[in-house]
Amino acid sequence: MDLFKAMEERKSTRAYLDRPLEREVLERLLHLATRAPSAINLQPYEFVVVSGEERKRLSRMLVKLLRERKTTCGPSAKEPLPLYFKRRQRDLLKSIAPFLPEGVVFQEFINEGSCNFYGAPTAVIITMDSVFAGRHFTDIGLIMGWFMLAAHAMGLGTCPIGIIHAFHDEIKENLNIPDKKEIAASMAVGHPDPEASVNRARSERVPVSDIVKWRG
């Protein structure tokens, strides 16, 4: 697939077929993703690929924690958001909500759906060595971007899942992630459900002219 086409088309997939991904497909995706650059080529990441029953077991724990703690997906901002950010958040809701089945509440769909990796057969958890404590997140973002584009080019869907940070320690324990590794990010990956109307939702972007300043 043409790279520009993949970049235009990729979007978050929030409904998946109950169809496992072959190990070779996941290996190919990880191979392509790790071609992304990293500072000093440190490649500060590792992956825990959680599939099938293990993924469901992890999700059961996450949904339980979500309900117990009444956690919700949010912008993780230190201060109240300026209006233009709030507007973008509202616009995202407006772009997805009309595609949800009747009676489904948007925030519940996102919270529980995220903890369920939206039914994807596989969750990819990206860890980073704690020696980098809070740095090198750019490297992780690049890995995710490469991974999601490659998956799209293969006809697969992905969704970054950030809410799981709220359950960092529990996930580490559940997946036996060593102490010196931190969970940096996670993604759902699988075959998009072509029947699910939520997969027709498409988020907007602000025009580039609104966010760029030219000098020189």
Ligand X SMILES: Cc1cc2nc3c(=O)[nH]c(=O)nc-3n(C[C@H](O)[C@H](O)[C@H](O)COP(=O)(O)O)c2cc1C
Which residues form the interface with ligand X (CB under 6 A)?
11-12, 73, 92, 110, 114, 159-163, 203
| Minimal CB distance residue for ligand X | 162
User: In the complex, what is the shortest distance from the CB of residue 48 to ligand X, in angstroms, rounded to a whole number?
Assistant: 17
Residue of 116, 28, 132 whose CA lies nearest to 73:
116
User: In the complex, what is the shortest distance from the CB of residue 6 to ligand X, in angstroms, rounded to a whole number?
Assistant: 12
Amino acid letter, residue 25: V
Which DSSP symbol is given to 94?
H
Q: Which stretches does DSSP call E strand in the chain?
A: 45-51, 122-129, 157-160, 181-190
Residue number, 78 or 213, with CB nearest to ligand X:
78
Residue number, 1 or 179, with CB nearest to ligand X:
1
Tokens 């988020």 label which residue?
203
Residue of 187, 205, 184 whose CA lies nearest to 46:
184
Cβ-based neighbours of 205, under 8 Å, separated by 6 or more? none
User: In the complex, what is the shortest distance from the CB of residue 129 to ligand X, in angstroms, rounded to a whole number?
Assistant: 19
User: In the complex, what is the shortest distance from the CB of residue 203 to ligand X, in angstroms, rounded to a whole number?
Assistant: 4
User: In the complex, what is the shortest distance from the CB of residue 205 to ligand X, in angstroms, rounded to a whole number?
Assistant: 8
Alpha carbon of residue 198 to chain centroid? 16
d(CA 80, CA 41): 37
Residue number, 24 or 186, with CB nearest to ligand X:
186
According to DSSP, the residues that pair with 19 across neighbouring strands are none
Residue number, 11 or 181, with CB nearest to ligand X:
11
Residue number, 8 or 24, with CB nearest to ligand X:
8
